[in-house]
Amino acid sequence: MAAQTNRGQGGANAAPSEITTLERRVLAHERILQALIVRLAEDDSDILVQLKATFGSGHDLGEYEQDYVSTDHYGDHFIRSVERAIATRDRQADD
C-alpha cells in the first residue's frame, strides 16, 4: 500500500520504473517542442536567434556538482537539434 501512496512522486527515492517513465515523458515533450519550433521557424526565421539569446546567459546553481550539466548546455543541444531538423527539412524540400 505504501508504494501506491508514493506513486508518481519521483524524486531521489523514485523507483527505476518511475525514472524511466519520467525520462520518456521528457523526451516526448522535447520531440513535440522541436516539431513545433521547426514549424514556427518556417514563418519566423528569427525564432532560433531568440531562443539562443534566451539560453545564452545566466548562472545555474549546482555547477560544481559531480555530474552537473548546465541548463544552457541542454538548451544549446536542443536548439542544435532544431537547426538540424530544419536543415534536413530544407534539403528534402530541395530534392
Q: Between 59 and 34, name the one with better pLDDT.
A: 34
Q: What does residue 47 show for φ and ψ, rounded to 5 degrees?
A: -60, -35
Q: Please, which residues have CB within 8 angstroms of residue 72's CB and are 6 or more apart in sequence? A: 55, 56, 57, 58, 60
pTM of this structure:
0.58
Q: Domain residues of the chain, as ranges?
A: 17-94
CB 82, CB 41: distance < 8 Å: yes
Q: Between 56 and 14, name the one with better pLDDT.
A: 14
Collapsing DSSP to helix, strand or coil, 30 comes out as helix
Report pLDDT for 3: 44
Per-residue pLDDT reduced to its tens digit, 55-94: 765 555 556 666 667 777 788 888 888 889 888 988 888 8
| Proportion of the chain above pLDDT 70, given as a percent | 73
